[in-house]
């Protein structure tokens, strides 16, 4: 039996005469008050969450806005009602940093956008290591081709998970859902991603106020620096009951 919700994230194809499934990928245009703002390649589904999570992560909104796909679903356009908090045309990094676009400038940009995350919960290392196992990934099970992000409470109960061909989209969808549910800033909740930990993912987690971000994969140098700078607990290589903790050790239970 194939999970019907997960199947909607996939496409049937014929490969060398046999039926197979691959992860669905389509472009999505995000419009605000009718004006095109961004195009992202994503797995269709939860597009309103994606748009709102993206705008929240960019510091363009700080509360739920009305959002919805246009009537022609195949057009892949999601409309969001404004107003935005700032002009989205302002280019980032190189207008706010006086030193070119060094990593320090990138960290400062995030610091302007969001405060240091709240002290938040104390959690057992074993719980952090177990989060990937609790992250449901039914579309991955069908295709091997999607990333996932999950939001958990401090007991490690999964609140919701989203899957997408783009790892940043999966995170945006979770943040957008949390925004709609009044859960932002996340304070004492935990984020877990199925892959590697880039600067971009730590940025989105920090802006959402997440005290803890765990990934199955490796972090980058700038991801570790940003997590330290914004006070996140960052865990990587969470597999087989173990996790490497790079920053925010004060949240680990003794």
Q: Which residue in 103, 115, 116, 133 binds a second copy (CB under 8 A)?
A: 103
Q: What residues have CB less than 8 Å from 69, skipping those under 6 apart?
A: 47, 48, 76, 77, 78, 79
Alpha carbons 21 and 140: distance in angstroms, whole number: 10
82 contributes a contact to a second copy by CB under 8 A: no
Q: Which residue in 121, 150, 219, 231 binds a second copy (CB under 8 A)?
A: 219
Residue 250 per-residue DSSP state: G
Q: Which two tokens stand for residue 105?
A: 């400038």
Alpha carbons 55 and 125: distance in angstroms, whole number: 32
51 contributes a contact to a second copy by CB under 8 A: no
Q: What residues have CB less than 8 Å from 109, skipping those under 6 apart?
A: 92, 93, 96, 97
Cβ-based nearer residue to a second copy, 186 or 225: 225
Cβ-based nearer residue to a second copy, 69 or 159: 69
* Least distance in angstroms from the C-beta of 198 to a second copy: 6
Report whether 184 contacts 56 (CB < 8 A).
yes
83 contributes a contact to a second copy by CB under 8 A: no
Please name the helix (run of DSSP H) or strand (run of DSSP E) that holds residue 26, with its range, or none. strand 26-32
Q: Which residue in 159, 160, 222, 229 binds a second copy (CB under 8 A)?
A: 222
Annotated catalytic residue 192:
no
Stretch that binds a second copy, among 5-13, 45-53, 55-63, 153-161 (CB under 8 A): 5-13
- What are the two backbone dihedrals, phi and then psi, of residue 249, each rounded to the nearest 5 degrees? -65, -20
Q: Which residues bind a second copy (CB under 8 A)?
A: 10-11, 13, 15-16, 20, 22-29, 36, 39, 41, 70, 72, 74-77, 91-94, 99-103, 105-106, 143-145, 165, 196, 198-200, 217-224, 237, 244-246, 249
Active site residues: 99
């Amino acid at each position: 039996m194939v999970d019907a919700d997960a199947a909607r994230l996939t496409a049937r194809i014929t490969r060398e005469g046999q039926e197979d499934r691959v992860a669905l990928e389509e472009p999505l245009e995000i419009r605000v008050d009718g004006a095109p703002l961004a195009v992202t390649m994503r797995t269709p589904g939860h597009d309103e969450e994606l748009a709102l999570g993206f705008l929240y992560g960019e510091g363009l909104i700080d509360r739920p806005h009305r959002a919805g796909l246009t009537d022609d679903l195949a057009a892949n356009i999601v409309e969001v009602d404004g107003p935005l908090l700032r002009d989205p045309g302002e280019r980032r990094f190189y207008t706010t940093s006086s030193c070119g676009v060094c990593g320090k400038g990138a960290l400062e940009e995030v610091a302007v956008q969001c405060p240091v995350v709240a002290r938040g919960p104390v959690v057992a290392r074993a719980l952090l290591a177990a989060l990937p196992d609790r992250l449901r990934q039914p579309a991955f099970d069908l295709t091997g081709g999607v990333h996932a992000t999950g939001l958990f409470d401090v007991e490690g109960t999964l609140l919701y998970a989203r899957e997408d061909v783009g790892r940043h989209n999966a995170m945006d969808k979770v943040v957008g859902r949390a925004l709609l549910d009044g859960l932002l800033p996340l304070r004492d909740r935990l984020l877990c991603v199925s892959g590697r930990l880039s600067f971009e993912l730590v940025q989105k987690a920090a802006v959402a106020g997440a005290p803890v971000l765990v990934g199955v994969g490796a972090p980058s140098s700038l991801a570790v620096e940003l997590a330290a700078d914004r006070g996140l607990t960052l865990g990587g290589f969470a597999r087989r009951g173990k996790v490497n903790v790079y920053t925010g050790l004060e949240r680990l239970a003794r």
